[in-house]
Structure 1
Amino acid sequence: MNDARTDVLVVGAGPTGLTLACALRLQGIDVRVVDAAPVPATTSRANILHARGVEVLERIGALGDLPERSLTALTITQYLDGKPAVTVRFGDLGLGTARPALYASQADVEARLRQRLRDLGTEIEWNSAISGVAQNDTGVGATLANGETARCRWLVGCDGAHSTVRQLAGIAFPGARLTERFLLADVYAEWPVDRSGGHGWPHRDGPLFAVPMREVGRPDNLWRLMAYDPTGNDGTQSTEQIIDRFRQLVPERTGRTDIRITEAAWASIFHVHRRLADTYRAGRIFLAGAAAHIHSPLGGQGIVTGIGDAENLAWKLALVIQGRATAALLDTYEAERRPLATDVLRNTTTATRLQVGDSLLLRFLRRRLLVPIAAMPSVQRRASRVASQLWVTYRHGPLNGGIRSHIGPLPRPGDRVPNLPCRHLDGRSTALYDQLGRHWALLLPADGSTDEFTDMRTRLGHNVIALHAEPTSGQHDVRLIRPDAHLAWRGTDPQQLTRWLSGTLQHGTVGR
């Protein structure tokens, strides 16, 4: 299999696979994307893109008109006894982001990513299910539905919760079902409820959630509804049957009789599972997104976690394929991303159990303890920050200096770097994220020189761009920032940077 026809075969054209393909193409990597579906999906379960996901799409040039097509996610209001009890506000997170979360259909997110991938020269191959894989030391051969063997150097399974790639690679996916069925629907409704945010009604029979959605060219009366309905019919149900059930549940759960569902755009039934792959890598085969981890949709963490997986893996694969790093660097993908998935699974599982549980203790906790605590501004800021995933750090990962990464000024190695204003060496103004995605960035003090850092360009080639910090930034050291906007290294000694690069590119660990 050393006659590889493409560098990376991406299986699955959802948000994770498309982000991975775009990020790889930006760095000049040959990519092929296949999907078992006959055509792109026009409906979707996911409906919120948290701030971290918005940033990633912006970095890879795929955000497009998504902010104009979507609603800004400003608040989530929880009700008790039919009255607003607490409102969590998604405002200034204090983490240097200019991009708020968006209530955006997954179908719209995928459409923007497909267009960006097309602009980068790659078309998706639909009706291309994968049925077999074989790998050796130099490549992977994947059998497609048409009988073709697609040969590649690396293969990434981004094909969702029922991942064929995961099964073919022999990777276990332990976990359990957390709840009975949820109903899900996009409906047009006469709904006199504030559309600046989402709403949730706890109920002894299970919660009901409503989130405003936007559809270009239609009045602003589209809502995403989700309801826990464990006692309903678990068999196959038509859209109309699901909508009829919502017509019963809405007044029961909200206590309101002034809400009228007029039309359904889409409806579905699902169960909540919690599962995490035993490993993210089997030789030359990787998993990302829902192929590696699935969890409750409460909190909207699915898309943003998968997109983060893709961006993390992309720059590492690019360096290895370009011959600038050994394959040991690829082991840091799981080391950095799997702990985050573990946290997401734990947090969303807890939230789900608190929402759907109906014991006397849980009802007491919700009313007397959780609601007053959630009303505290400090708790709301933390909840917004956690959901945004802007807090994600890789300080504990192998590319940082152990305990040394927890000493010194912020940001520290492994931390996310916000979208800073900066300048090209010729004085032209730019923003940091305009240069990342495609490049690493060497951010110099306002009066700094690149003369002592020539070894960095030798090791990273054209993958790195030098920039000056703004004079008002107060930056006095040199900072190397990864394509995924995490701080790789900071200091003033170019020899220390050389050691960091040597360890990272050769061994997948911090240079000593």
Structure 2
Amino acid sequence: MEPDVLVAGAGPVGLALACALLQHGVSVRVVDRAQAPATTSRANFVHARGSEVLDRLDALSGLPEESVRAMTITNYAGDRPMMRVRFGDPGLHTAAPPMVISQARVEARLRDRLAELGGRPEWGCALVGAGQDADGVTAALGDGRTVRARWLVGCDGTGSTVRKLAGIGFPGVKVSERFLIVDARLDTTLDRSGTSGWVHPEGMLGAMPMPGGQWRLLAYDPVFRQDKPTEEQIVERMRHILPERTHGLGGRLLDASWASLFSVHRRLADTYRQGRILLAGDSAHAHAPFGGQGMLTGIGDAENLAWKLALVIGGLAGERLLQTYETERRPLATQVLRGSTAATRMNIAAGPVGRFLRDRVMVPAFNLPVLQRWTTYTTSQLWVSYRRGPLGGRGSRPRSGDRIADVACVRADGIRTRLHAELRGRWAVLGDASLFEAARRRLGEHVVHLRPVDPLPAMLVRPDAHLACTGDPTRWLDGALA
């Protein structure tokens, strides 16, 4: 049986997309060139917006309990604390606070959820060719088989085969900023309730507590020039620089479970769509790891794309709706790219001007509570709004395109619930029965009728928890789904 959507890449973005599509009743096939799932990963932080997306996929269960809640970052100059920033719930009715947890564990939970929905990734299954026509895409696999699907989505990372096959440009640079990562046990007195970071003339170093009593060590190290070092060489280098850059505060590296070296990419795809081929996550945008925005932005792409593809595949919307995917998501990727680049430059500043601005201007500023609240809010991505896009609107708040908080509601059967828990592949009508019926006439069965516990205007909420419109949804739906 031909799937509606072929997803290339079984990382967090591809898995999130597959889960979301299955929630909407769309058939999916997921392939990945890797022989098996990853057990380690560079990403290890899920911000509040990421928790919300996982919650709406019904894939959050167990992760908050497993995670480490290291919500403070203390920066040192030598053995002297310079700045302490606290992250937390920005008070916007979120499903869960930020979590320190490996991307590999997030992927494992998404695979479990995919299995619950009737899907599974196909490992050792590389996509090597793709041709498209007016009705679909024919993809060639590395074992000689072909797959016919109505749509192909590349979630296969910065070196995306799908992007290359589609002929989509990926301008930008691979810069010379090289970082060492080591997951290890430490003999240390560092506080596991937060992350510690050190500025040093030879490069910054950070230590973040991880589940299982381990620490994630991250170091900028332009001196370490081996092209393809072994894990043992990386660990030995980290063993040397840990006490040197932390002035002994970091303790001793005992044994390591994983080590890696990476260079930063800064790239943005020319377009997110070429006919029936689309891109999401690192296939479409790549940037520095500072701020933990990569996985967060990618799974946001997946959720945004899923409900739009579902409507088009189900014949409830025209293909014009898919144009809004790039229009809504690409500006965010551009903003994340700028922000992560600025954060990287501040953290690795080596020249006298850069160090002065960081140590004498930025550090005192970020010790202010107002800037700490702003940092939490900014990195959470709860501020993301599509009000300026083609599905957005003007007028009094909330406006079309704004995020709607996870408010308490009552279902039609009288059971209390939360708005975001009721979305999970569905639209929500907060209003009277006539508005609910108007939405169902255009959207089919994937609509739920809710009554907010506290007074709110009548509204139609999109499956990604953004406001479609207030009042009668007919006019908005007629325009959006045309």
- TM-score bracket, normalised by the shorter chain, equals over 0.9
Give the drift of 1:179.
Answer: 3.2
Task: Kindly indicate whether residue 345 of structure 2 is the aligned counterpart of residue 353 of structure 1.
Answer: yes
- Answer yes or no: is 1:450 the counterpart of 2:437: no
Is the CA contact 2:429–2:435 (under 8 Å) kept in the aligned structure 1? no
Per the alignment, residue 478 of structure 1 pairs with 458
Correspondence 1:471-510 to 2 at 5 A: 473-475=454-456, 477-491=457-471, 494=472, 497-506=473-482
Letter in 1 for 2:440: R
Aligned pair partner of 2:418 in 426, 431, 438: 431
Specify the alignment match of 1:146 in structure 2.
143
The superposition leaves residues 336-393 of structure 1 with CA deviations (integer Å, 9 ceiling, x where unpaired) of 0000000000000011111112111111111211111011111111111111111111
Match of 1:303 in 2: 295
- Pick the aligned partner of 1:164 from 138, 161, 165: 161
- Match of 2:382? 390
Percent same amino acid at aligned positions?
55
Task: Quote the residue 1:509 is aligned against.
Answer: none
1:106-505 matches, cutoff 5 A: 106-215=103-212, 220=213, 222-256=214-248, 259-401=251-393, 404=394, 407-409=395-397, 411-444=398-431, 449-470=432-453, 473-475=454-456, 477-491=457-471, 494=472, 497-505=473-481
**1:55-134 superposed matches below 5 A:** 55-134=52-131
Cα deviation, residue 466, structure 1 = 0.8
* Alignment partners' CA distance in 2, 1:86 and 1:98: 29
State the SS of the aligned residue for 2:481.
helix
CA distance, structure 1, for counterparts of residue 9 and residue 279 of structure 2: 11
Report the equivalent of 1:38.
35
Instruction: State which drifts further: 50-59 or 174-183.
Output: 174-183
Task: For 2:89 and 2:181, locate their aligned partners in 1 and report how far apart those are by CA, in whole Å.
Answer: 30
User: SS of the counterpart of 1:462?
Assistant: coil
Normalised by the size of structure 2, how large is the TM-score?
0.98
Deviates more, 1:389-398 or 1:424-433: 424-433
* Distance verdict in 2 for CA 1:481–1:258, change over 3 Å: closer
Return structure 1 stretches of 4+ with deviation > 4 angstroms: none
Measured after TM superposition, the shift of residue 233 of structure 1 is 2.6
Q: Give the CA deviation at 1:67.
A: 1.3
| Residue-pair matches, total | 482
Deviation track 1:13-45 (CA, whole Å, cap 9, x = no partner) reads 000000000000011110000000000011111
Q: 1:458 to 1:375 in 2, by over 3 A?
A: same
Q: 1:251, CA displacement in angstroms?
A: 1.5
How far apart, in 1, do the equivalents of 2:323 and 2:106 lie? 29
1:510 alignment partner in structure 2: none
| CA distance in 2: counterparts of 1:226 and 1:289, whole angstroms | 23
Q: Secondary structure at the match of 1:114?
A: helix
Check 1:310–1:408 CA distance in 2 against 1; reply closer, same or farther (3 A cut): same
* Aligned residues of 1:73 and 1:100 also touching (Cα < 8 A): no
Where in structure 1 are there 5+ consecutive unaligned residues?
507-512
Instruction: Report the Cα distance in structure 2 between the residues aligned to 1:275 and 1:452, rounded to whole angstroms.
Output: 44
RMSD: 1.2
For 1:451, the aligned partner's letter is S
Q: How far apart, CA to CA, are the structure 1 residues paired with 2:411 and 2:318?
A: 31
Deviates more, 1:261-270 or 1:76-85: 76-85
| Counterparts of 2:60 and 2:399, CA distance in 1 | 28
CA contact (8 A) 1:90 1:100 kept: no
Distance 1:241 1:266 in 2: 12
d(CA) in 2 for partners of 1:199, 1:257: 10
Structure 2 residue matching 1:17: 3-state secondary structure: helix
State the secondary structure of the residue aligned to 1:71. coil
SS at match of 2:138: strand
Matched residue type, 2:474: T
The 3-state SS of whatever aligns with 1:113 is: helix
Given the alignment, which residue of 39, 44, 50 partners 1:47? 44
Residue 72 of structure 1 aligns to a residue whose secondary structure is coil
Aligned partner of 1:281: which letter?
R
Deviation at 1:205, TM superposition (A): 1.3
Show the counterpart of 1:8.
5
Distance 2:95 2:73 in 1: 20
TM-score, with structure 1 as normaliser: 0.92
Distance 1:210 1:97 in 2: 27
Letter paired with 1:361: V
Question: How big is the shift at 1:164?
Answer: 0.4
**Per the alignment, in what secondary structure is the counterpart of residue 150 of structure 2?**
strand
Q: Find the aligned partners of 1:95 and 1:64 in 2 and give their Cα distance.
A: 20
**Residue-by-residue CA offset, 1:207-255 (whole Å, 9 max, x unaligned):** 101111003xxxx2x0001101111133221212111111111122111
**Structure 1 position 98, deviation (Å):** 4.4
